[in-house]
Structure 1
Amino acid sequence: MSASSASPAPPTLSQRVILVLALACGVSVSTIYFPQAISSLIAADLHVAEGSAALVVTAAQFGYAGGIFLLVPLGDRLPHRRLLVTLLALTAAGLVVAGAAPTLPVLVAASAATGVTTVVPQIIIPMAAGLVPADRRGAVTGTLLSGLIGGILLARTFSGTLGEWLGWRAPYLAAAALVLALALVLARVVPDTTPSSTHRYPELISAPLRLLREEPDLRRSCLYQATVFAGFSAAWTALTLLVTGPTYGMGAQTVGVLGLVGAASMFCTPLAGRAADRRGPDAVTLWCLLGVVGSAAVLLPGGMGGAAGLVVLAAGMLLLDVAMQSGQVANQARNFALRPDARARINTAYMTCAFLGGSAGSWLGVRAYDRLGWPGVSGLVALTAVIALTRHLTRARTTAAPAGDATVTPSRVP
């Protein structure tokens, strides 16, 4: 075949573009996490209870789950560059409205709307998975997630520090400017891509439900991340109440500094991705679920207060961050190997379940803290991990049984 008649090579991602996309994941996802560090400042300024101000975090996460379900499937249907730039522009507008909100209901509504449009990472990650070789997919996913983690961590420190200096509105307005600048960058660096689907929108948004029915491994990944992310969100939401409450009596800036201890997870997720490439996602999942159980035990004494209590909280949150984010890499490596032509829809099913779990965890974390104190929150983290670990170990025993029993019928294999 002559060179002129050969089909054009598909676009690929250079290391430079991958790093820019990792930055994009971090900046965009920060908009749903930075309110965690300033909820006490919001409560004081708007004259509402801290538990009510925490609804800003819950609304953002529910909005994010809704955006994943409604918008991420479009990643299989529309050119990625145009979709990403449009969503970032809408996110910047939502952040401006939130930063100018005169009352808590307006702020909660703006947070939910911003959450809907800030799903850029969940479009970037499956896009990148389709533009790199299969043997690099886990490593590239880990790199993108390390950028996402960096955004989560720096968001808390950024908002806590800036909020203490200039008030809680300043982080929203500064984030709006950053997101708008990011939109201009992505308009230049995102490669031209060809949509993998010609389905109409109603078919696209119904596809994740069908995929959940048809793909047992996708259902497992969803269960693992929904439960673990519920515990993670519960711990971070309640941590603000603990640190700024009478036990420690510290400010929002301390919450942001505690968030920095999770920086190690930025370096662990690429390692987790390479481990998933070599050993398989299930081995990494087991290590991560055991890590979450261990983090709950470490966090338990964190309610005692004082310097020792802060050290315990930092260590426990570090372990929880590393375990949760590394488990995310394993789950997505498992998911993206299922159906190459439907990666955005698979990611829609997965991340919708994950953020529904995270939203429920934020709500449960506040209730557990109000009724049972910090030990109740630590127990909630442990419970969520045990649910996922039980499912994982049960499957491992079931799939191992046929190897030792030649008489097993196919109907016993899950």
Structure 2
Amino acid sequence: MTQHVSRKMTLLLALTCGAAVGNIYFPQAISPLVAYSLGVTPSAAALVVTAAQLGYAAGIFLLVPLGDRLPHRPLIVTLLGLTGLGLVAASTASTLPHLVGAGIFVGITTVIAPILGPMAAGLVAEDRRGEVTGLLLSGSIGGMLLSRAFGGSLGEWLGWRAPYLLSAVIALILAAVLAFTLPHTTPATRQPYPALLKQTIMLLRTEPDLRRSAFNQATIFAGFSAVWTGAALLLTGPTYHLGAHAVGILAFVNAGTMIAAPVAGRQADRRGPDVVNRVCFVAVIASALVLALGALGGTWGLVALAIGTLMLDIAMQSDMVANQVRIYVLRPEIRSRLNTAYMTCAFLGGSIGSWLGAQAHTLFGWTGVCAVVVVLALLPLAAARKQFAQSTA
């Protein structure tokens, strides 16, 4: 049912999306600090990043469908409260397994953004839906980019536990605020929970365009995650000898990429998502070639890292928008479950990419990470060329 949702409420929801999504990304900046503090190797500490993304993929699959089944206010407030407790548990970790376990829990419960998006779209009139959706997406992208700057700088100043504690405080405050301000909603379906999960799996089997979009995003997001996991190891390693704050500064430089999403959306509307996808695959490969120059070190190496990550971030976000444009027109009545299937695959790819990035850096250095990105981008590009050839035959 359409309600009046004020701009202040929309901004609050966008802030909530950013804070929730940021819990998945700030560990990328502090994993070298975790390695030093807990006495483990940098590649082992990178498991904290993998754990958060793997938990997020599980949370999207297991919890996001509840947005169709339960009233949104108690669901979101409960998840924020649990996220806050999980972050507190992570801040007290004395061993890597403890921190990895807490990271998985935080990842599972911090799936606020993919629940708030469909909820907000259903609360506003059709002529405001694009505006509200765009603001929430900008909040999520801002959280993704700025959380690494926040985590790296705060971790370098006060230690790696500080970002977890401050994020816990933010989550608990937002839970308290939303408990009194979030609009009332009624469930969209009475289907049993197991049926919702089963339908999500069935959609991947029955919708080829959904499978294609999920594969596209899983591979590109894997490359994105590999780069940012490897970048933390590169910048704090012997090539640059910088602190964790350097990862945050590099991420902050890329904050301007938030404008890429609406531009990509307009191009997907005008030219079709397939064209945008192919451009993004080529851009990811080009970004990897630029990023490889980061192994040189020094000023020019840092310039290459800044330009390369900027190219990669824009390509990843644009690819995500194009894929979502494709899946949202498939079956509008179950859009939330389509997005659940899509985002689950995307973050599974991201968690695998984080692991690949850490392993590639350990075995082959920064150039190995860049090679992983190229291979991952070639997979969907080859599939897209094959499909294009078949469609024109």
Fold equivalence (TM over 0.5): yes
**Offset at 1:227?**
0.3
**Offset at 1:33?**
0.8
What does the per-residue CA deviation read over 1:178-236, in whole Å, with 9 as the maximum and x for residues that have no partner? 11122233334433223222111111111111011111111111001000001001010
In the comparison of the two structures, how many residue pairs are matched? 393
Q: Give 3-state SS (helix, strand or coil) of 1:101's partner.
A: coil
What does the per-residue CA deviation read over 1:1-33, in whole Å, with 9 as the maximum and x for residues that have no partner? xxxxxxxx5335444433322221111011111
Is contact 1:286–1:389 with CA below 8 Å preserved after alignment? yes
**Structure index of larger Rg:** 1
Instruction: Indicate whether 1:308 and 2:300 are aligned.
Output: yes
Structure 1 gap segments, 5+ residues each? 1-8, 402-414
One-letter code aligned to 1:164: E
The structure-2 alpha-carbon separation of the partners of 1:51 and 1:335, relative to structure 1 and needing over 3 Å to count, comes to: same
Distance 1:12 1:395 in 2: 44
- Quick one: which of 88, 91, 102 aligns to 2:80? 88
Distance 2:283 2:130 in 1: 20
Q: Give 3-state SS (helix, strand or coil) of 1:248's partner.
A: coil
Instruction: Indicate whether 1:67 and 2:45 are aligned.
Output: no
Q: Comparing 365-374 with 286-295, which one deviates more in the overlay?
A: 286-295
Distance 1:380 1:190 in 2: 43
One-letter code aligned to 1:347: N
- Quick one: which of 159, 162, 172 aligns to 1:167? 159
Matches within 5 A, 1:256-405: 256-401=248-393
Q: Give 3-state SS (helix, strand or coil) of 1:359's partner.
A: helix
TM-score, length-scaled by structure 1: 0.90
Q: Which residue of 2 aligns with 1:409?
A: none
Q: Which residue of 2 aligns with 1:408?
A: none
Using the aligned pairs only, state the percent identity.
Answer: 58
Distance 1:323 1:88 in 2: 30
Is contact 2:232–2:244 with CA below 8 Å preserved after alignment? yes
Is contact 2:2–2:122 with CA below 8 Å preserved after alignment? no
Instruction: Indicate whether 1:26 and 2:18 are aligned.
Output: yes
Distance 1:117 1:84 in 2: 9
**Offset at 1:394?**
2.5
What does the per-residue CA deviation read over 1:320-368, in whole Å, with 9 as the maximum and x for residues that have no partner? 0111012112212222222223222211111111111111111111111
Distance 2:12 2:282 in 1: 33
The structure-2 alpha-carbon separation of the partners of 1:30 and 1:377, relative to structure 1 and needing over 3 Å to count, comes to: same
Instruction: Indicate whether 1:183 and 2:175 are aligned.
Output: yes
One-letter code aligned to 1:334: R
What does the per-residue CA deviation read over 1:272-311, in whole Å, with 9 as the maximum and x for residues that have no partner? 2333344433333233222212211111111111111001
The structure-2 alpha-carbon separation of the partners of 1:279 and 1:132, relative to structure 1 and needing over 3 Å to count, comes to: farther
Q: Which residue of 1 aligns with 2:117?
A: 125
Q: Which residue of 2 aligns with 1:210?
A: 202
One-letter code aligned to 1:322: I
The structure-2 alpha-carbon separation of the partners of 1:333 and 1:12, relative to structure 1 and needing over 3 Å to count, comes to: farther
Distance 1:291 1:285 in 2: 10
Is contact 1:157–1:260 with CA below 8 Å preserved after alignment? yes
Structure 2 gap segments, 5+ residues each? none
The structure-2 alpha-carbon separation of the partners of 1:370 and 1:348, relative to structure 1 and needing over 3 Å to count, comes to: same
Q: Give 3-state SS (helix, strand or coil) of 2:365's partner.
A: helix
Instruction: Indicate whether 1:115 and 2:107 are aligned.
Output: yes
**Offset at 1:51?**
1.3
**Offset at 1:63?**
0.8
Query: What RMSD, in angstroms, separates the aligned Cα atoms of the two structures?
Result: 1.8
Q: Give 3-state SS (helix, strand or coil) of 1:293's partner.
A: helix
TM-score, length-scaled by structure 2: 0.95
Q: Give 3-state SS (helix, strand or coil) of 2:337's partner.
A: helix
The structure-2 alpha-carbon separation of the partners of 1:13 and 1:382, relative to structure 1 and needing over 3 Å to count, comes to: farther
